[in-house]
Amino acid sequence: MTATIALVDDDRNILTSVSIALQTEGFVTRLYSDGETALKALVDNPPDLAIFDIKMPRMDGLELLRRLREKSRIPVIFLTSKDDELDEALGLAMGADDYIAKPFSQRLLIARIRAILRRSELVQSPEMATAAEAAGPIDRGRLSMDPARHRTTWADETVTLTVTEFLILETLAQRPGIVKTRNQLMDAAYQDDIYVDDRTIDSHIKRLRRKFRQVDPEFDAIETLYGAGYRFSDD
């Protein structure tokens, strides 16, 4: 089935250009220029995924997410500026699924959308949900990951990850000590028909390390093997 994507941004140029890119990829789009207008429509007629700008008049993206989460669990991606790390962290804690910094590659945004939709489909599938429950959490030393609930902890401290970050870490943690190439991590996090630059995976790894070091400054479980890839160490 064709997925429907809601775009909420007060910048008409972004709404138009992103909508055209998504429609070219086969998505249906709905466009809203402010959070107040979008909220009722998102609740009454939910799309498959929504993309919010954080900085908007009348109702910003964070307030829109807070109100939306009172009634809906639809996946949400935030558009942020490069200096909005605090807003990114707050948005994820409030229930956003991912974020992407402006200016952004539309191809990268589409890859993130497909990764989240794929994950959402798996979670909503009764068969996959049952399988995830049966498999149980991944426990590797101080790391614990619960795929069924999309929950990650390090030494019992919660670490809030995006869907993409979770998929990358899950791939590494499933086989500790085994080196995963960037291509293998791309395959885990993105659709196979979407090209993602190597630097995108490197950026995700940097963000993962930074998030874990916020709860444990000595965190060093994600190792880089130059020229080869990355591996998880549970020593």
pLDDT tens readout for residues 33-56: 999 999 999 999 999 999 999 888
Asked if pLDDT for residue 129 goes beyond 70, the answer is no
Asked if pLDDT for residue 193 goes beyond 60, the answer is no
Report residue 195's pLDDT band, with 50, 70 and 90 as the boundaries: low
Interatomic CA distance for residues 106 and 44, integer angstroms:
28
Report residue 9's pLDDT band, with 50, 70 and 90 as the boundaries: very high
Tokens read off for 44: 């009454």
Contact status, residue 209 vs residue 216, Cβ threshold 8 Å: no
**Residue 220 confidence (pLDDT):** 95
Asked if pLDDT for residue 15 goes beyond 80, the answer is yes
**Residue 196 confidence (pLDDT):** 60
Asked if pLDDT for residue 119 goes beyond 70, the answer is yes
Tokens read off for 106: 């539309």
